[in-house]
């Protein structure tokens, strides 16, 4: 699985660099966009899109512009998350966060530029115009107030408070989960997948999105700076409710295993061995150390 991920990550990174090399001025924006996107990262979201296209019998190159657009949106969200007004993190992926490298005002604009440029890339998809409109509509929904931004807002409002499980689940499914569902649903749009397959893949994406966030909660306690690329314990410092704070660590790990196994079982039942990479990805998310 690591070799598979590395091959796909190298492909995505090459295309990201080509796209960003088109941008020259203002220099600080061009350099900041490169720094923020190419400063490490697993590329799970674009890889998930390409992987799903392959599963659906469509050439991966069909989804490359969309996959890069999603990674830029993910990177913009991290740039803004790290700002002093939000999580106030000085490090990202073991290096200075964007605002520490370039300045706070610059980081805001760098994040804005990444988000805006992502939609430019979506229009470069070599597919029917009606599908491009559908991709843009879905992306704006999942990255916006009904998705990632909505989850981030509730997360901020919940700092220093005891929240119930439905609120925590809302935060997880929107702040993190929607941007993991997006590549799967975009692949379904590009491939013209039927409703039954699309619903299975959406549920799979929802499960691995929850697993991803639960694992993040665990790593914030059990991880190290070298592994996760930033100081551990940031959730506790901000008094955020997490799965371990509600359920305890042992139960949280059980829930994580349940989500991973359900995701694997779902894909095997629907696609059999053809879904081996999706099943391996679920395991990877559950077992990752960074």
**Whether residue 42 has pLDDT greater than 70:** yes
Q: Are 195 and 270 in contact (CB under 8 A)?
A: no
State which H helix or E strand residue 75 sits in: helix 64-81
pLDDT-based confidence at residue 164 (cuts at 50, 70, 90):
confident
Look-up of token digits 């694992």:
215
Domain range for residue 281? Answer: 2-287
Cβ–Cβ contacts within 10 Å for residue 260, how many? 24
In sign, the C-alpha dihedral spanning 17, 23, 27, 28 is: negative
pLDDT-based confidence at residue 39 (cuts at 50, 70, 90):
confident
Any idea which of 114-118, 166-170, 185-189, 272-276 has the lowest mean pLDDT?
Answer: 166-170
**Whether residue 2 has pLDDT greater than 80:** no
- Which pLDDT tens digit goes with each residue over 241-270? 788 888 899 999 999 999 999 999 999 999
The three-class DSSP label of residue 95 is strand
Burial 97-132 (b: 16+ CB within 10 A, else e): bbbbbbeeebbbbbbebbbebbbebbeebebeeeeb
How many domains are contained in the chain? 1
- Which pLDDT tens digit goes with each residue over 183-241? 999 999 999 999 999 999 999 999 999 999 899 889 888 866 555 555 555 555 555 67
Please tell me the distance from the alpha carbon of residue 183 to that of residue 284, in angstroms, as a whole number: 17
pLDDT, residue 223, reads 66
pLDDT, residue 216, reads 87
pLDDT, residue 61, reads 84
pLDDT, residue 275, reads 95
pLDDT-based confidence at residue 178 (cuts at 50, 70, 90):
very high
pLDDT-based confidence at residue 46 (cuts at 50, 70, 90):
very high
Could you tell me which residue, 159 or 47, shows the higher pLDDT? 47
CATH of the domain at 106: 1.10.600.10
pLDDT, residue 66, reads 95
Please tell me the distance from the alpha carbon of residue 163 to that of residue 170, in angstroms, as a whole number: 11
Please tell me the distance from the alpha carbon of residue 115 to that of residue 108, in angstroms, as a whole number: 11
* Cα 136-8-64 angle, rounded to 5 deg: 25
Cβ within 8 Å of residue 52, ≥6 positions away: 183, 184, 187, 188, 191, 201, 278
Upstream peptide bond of 284 is cis (omega within 30 degrees of 0): no
- φ/ψ of 254, rounded to 5, equals -65, -45
Nearest to 209 by CA among 118, 74, 76, 83: 74
Mean pLDDT, the chain, as a whole number? 89
């Amino acid at each position: 699985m690591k070799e598979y991920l590395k091959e796909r990550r190298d492909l995505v990174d090459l295309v990201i660099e080509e796209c960003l090399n088109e941008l020259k001025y203002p220099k600080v924006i061009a350099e900041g966009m490169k720094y923020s996107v190419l400063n490490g990262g697993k590329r799970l979201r674009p890889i998930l899109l390409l992987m799903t296209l392959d599963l659906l019998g469509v050439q991966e190159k069909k989804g490359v512009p969309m996959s890069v657009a999603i990674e830029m949106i993910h990177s913009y969200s991290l740039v803004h998350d790290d700002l002093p007004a939000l999580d106030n993190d000085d490090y990202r992926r073991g290096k200075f966060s964007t605002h520490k490298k370039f300045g706070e005002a610059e980081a805001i604009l760098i994040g804005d530029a990444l988000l805006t440029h992502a939609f430019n890339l979506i229009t470069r998809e070599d597919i029917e115009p009606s599908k491009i409109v559908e991709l843009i509509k879905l992306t704006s929904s999942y990255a916006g107030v009904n998705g990632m931004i909505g989850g981030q807002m509730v997360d901020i409002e919940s700092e220093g408070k005891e929240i119930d499980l439905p609120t925590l689940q809302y935060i997880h499914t929107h702040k993190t989960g929607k941007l993991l569902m997006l590549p799967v649903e975009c692949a379904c749009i590009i491939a013209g997948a039927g409703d039954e397959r699309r619903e299975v893949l959406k549920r799979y994406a929802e499960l691995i999105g929850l697993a991803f966030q639960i694992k993040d909660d665990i790593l914030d306690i059990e991880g190290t700076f070298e592994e996760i690329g930033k100081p551990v314990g940031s959730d506790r410092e901000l008094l955020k409710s997490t799965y371990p704070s509600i359920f305890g660590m042992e139960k949280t790990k059980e829930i994580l295993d349940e989500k991973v196994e359900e995701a694997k079982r779902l894909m095997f039942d629907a696609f059999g061995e053809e879904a081996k990479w999706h099943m391996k990805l679920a395991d990877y998310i559950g077992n990752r150390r960074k």
